[in-house]
Amino acid sequence: MGTDRYAYASRLRRVDAIPKLWLSLIPLLLCVCCDSAAVGVATLLLMGGLNVWLGGQGLRTVLRFLKVPLAFLAVGCLTILVRPLSPEEGALWAVELLGRFRWGITAEYRDLSLMVLCKAMGAVSAMYFLSLNTPVTDVTLALERLRVPKLLVELMELIYRFIFVLTDTAGRIRVAQESRLGYQGWRRSLESMGTLVSMLFLRAWRQGERSFTALESRGYKGRLDTLPADAVPGKWLYAVLAGVSAAQLGALALERSLLG
């Protein structure tokens, strides 16, 4: 079930979720708040290394997960990199379209797109450390201990559960459509996709009603109680957090000293 498959097999599975939560959140905030490509690269390497070294995740697994946001970020950063230019504006590369429009790349926006890409990948790597080493149930229990509103935590649990309900339902509908040659040709593919989306919405609505009825029949009073599992104290992760934060700040200081 998504990243939970790897989280349950992680070496950090039995470690208390709160230190892992802080070890993901604080480097993420530092990465986002520091307008620095070096901090983004440092966060990407450090958190990816912790996934492999502490979590026991395979390097290929970490890289495969990083490829998913990289495709979206590459398209987004391309729109920052290539932009319309005025006739007198200097550029590293430029081209005229239809004799009227001038598009190109400037040094300023080249640096900006690189910084955005590095920051985003660093933040994603920090979040992957949490998701690849901590099951969602442990995360929600940790949020309750941190005094996050109970309603918000329960909504997170239900939304996460219904992601897989929708995925399973969509997969069953698509298999049924493919067995009836529903995706032969562009027109039939569009029709089948429209039918899938509409049926998915209706079935999800019905499943939601059934789930709520099942909860009420079991004495639901507006609160979902989950029994906590035994966890190993992970106070030593705070030392790791201090080292990662120091390395991020060191990368920031080094970048600024080199750039003058």
The Cα 68–Cα 84 span in angstroms is: 29
**What residue type is 166 in one-letter code?**
L
Q: What is the mean pLDDT of the chain?
A: 85
Q: Where are the domains of the chain?
A: 1-135+234-254, 149-223
247 pLDDT above the threshold of 90: yes
Helix, coil or strand: residue 85: coil
Q: How confident is residue 228, by pLDDT bands cut at 50, 70 and 90? A: low
The confidence score (pLDDT) of residue 260 equals: 64
Q: By the 8 A CB rule, do 135 and 4 touch?
A: yes
CB 110 within 8 A of CB 32: no
pLDDT at 127: 92
pLDDT at 77 over 80: yes
pLDDT range class, residue 44, cuts 50, 70, 90: very high
Burial of 48 per CB tally in 10 Å (0-12, 13-18, 19+): buried
Are residues 93 and 16 in contact, defined by beta-carbon separation less than 8 angstroms?
Answer: no
pTM value is 0.79
Measured between alpha carbons, how far is 50 from 192 in angstroms, rounded to an integer? 44
- Ramachandran quadrant class, 103 (left: phi over 0; alpha: psi -120 to 50; beta: rest): beta
- Are 41 and 259 within 8 A, CB to CB? no
Distances (CA, A) of 163 to 4, 109, 149, 157, 228: 13, 38, 22, 10, 23
